[in-house]
Amino acid sequence: MNWECKKFEELNPHELYAILQLRSEVFVVEQNCVFQDMDDKDQKCFHLMCWEHKKLIAYTRLVPAGISYVESSIGRVVSSPSARKRGIGKELMQQSIHWVNLLLGKGIPIKIGAQLYLKKFYESFGFVQSSDVYLEDGISHIEMQLSQS
């Protein structure tokens, strides 16, 4: 597996296509959710990618403070169905937190909008629920925050 993190401007067309394809495969097709994925935030974010045999198997976008929330954020957390059940989701979040600290500020709070069914998964990294349940694109979500020190 090969991990890479790039600014939007550094992505080549192949990488951008693979990111959008994976996000569409999971968020639109698998989760049957019609929503506008391209929301004008990608251009301001860092993009963390995990490649295996030239195939994108995991991805997150690292969002600077002030774009999605007052705090920095990790969003569009996604792993390929072909790579699941191998711990890639856990490694993806560990890498994401590492890269947020490296690129956006060490020890800063990180806020996420998490699908409710993944609450325990995010709690395993230290995230704590910080909002009531809300619907986003027909899916129950909660805000969660990781307070680092």
Per-residue pLDDT tens over the stretch 21-66: 999 999 888 888 888 788 999 999 999 999 999 999 999 999 999 9
Q: Does domain 2-106 correspond to CATH entry 3.40.630.30?
A: yes
- Structure-token pair, residue 103: 């690129």
pLDDT at 137: 86
pLDDT at 148: 84
Higher-confidence residue of 117 and 28: namely 117
pLDDT at 71: 96
pLDDT at 32: 80
Rg of the chain taking only CA atoms, in angstroms: 14
pLDDT at 37: 84
Mean pLDDT of the chain: 95
16/128 Cα distance (integer angstroms): 32
